[in-house]
Amino acid sequence: MLKTWNQLTKPRVTILVLATVFPGLYLGMEGTPSLSLVCFTLLGTYLMSSSSFIFNQYIEREKDAVMYRTKQRPIPSGVLSPHGALYIGLATMVLAFGILFYFVNLLTALAAWSALLLYVFLYTIWLKPRTEQNVVIGGISGCIGPVIGYAAASNALPLPAWILFLVIFLWTPAHFWALAIFLKEDYEFAGIPMMPVVSGVDKTVKQIFLYSIAYSAAVLGFYFADARMGEIYLITAILLTILFLGFAYRLMLSQERLFAKKFFFFSIFHLFLISLAIVIDSRV
Mean pLDDT of the chain: 90
What does each C-alpha distance from 141 to 75, 175, 220 come to in angstroms?
24, 15, 23
| DSSP codes joined into one string, 236-247 | HHHHHHHHHHHH
Question: Residue 255: left (phi > 0), alpha (psi -120 to 50), or beta?
Answer: left
pTM: 0.90
**Calpha distance 166→146 (Å, rounded):** 10
pLDDT of 139 strictly over 80 = no
Predicted local distance difference test score (pLDDT) of residue 43: 97
For residues 166 and 10, the model is more confident at 166
Alpha-carbon torsion, ordered 199, 203, 205, 207, to 10 deg: -100
| Residue range 34-93, pLDDT digits in tens | 999 999 999 999 999 999 999 999 998 888 877 777 778 888 888 889 899 999 999 999
Average pLDDT over residues 93-105: 98
Predicted local distance difference test score (pLDDT) of residue 69: 73
Average pLDDT over residues 205-224: 95
- Report, in angstroms and rounded to the nearest whole number, the Rg of the chain calculated over CA atoms: 19
Predicted local distance difference test score (pLDDT) of residue 5: 85
Average pLDDT over residues 202-215: 96
**Calpha distance 125→244 (Å, rounded):** 32
Phi/psi at 129 (5° precision)? -80, -5
Helix (H, G, I), strand (E, B) or coil at 265: helix
Confidence of residue 13 (pLDDT cuts 50, 70, 90): confident
Phi/psi at 24 (5° precision)? -65, -40
What b/e string do you get for 170-187 counting C-beta neighbours within 10 Å, with b at 16 or more?
Answer: bbbbbbbbbbbbbbbebb
Q: Which residues have C-beta within 8 Å of that of residue 213, sequence separation ≥ 6?
A: 245, 248
Average pLDDT over residues 170-183: 92
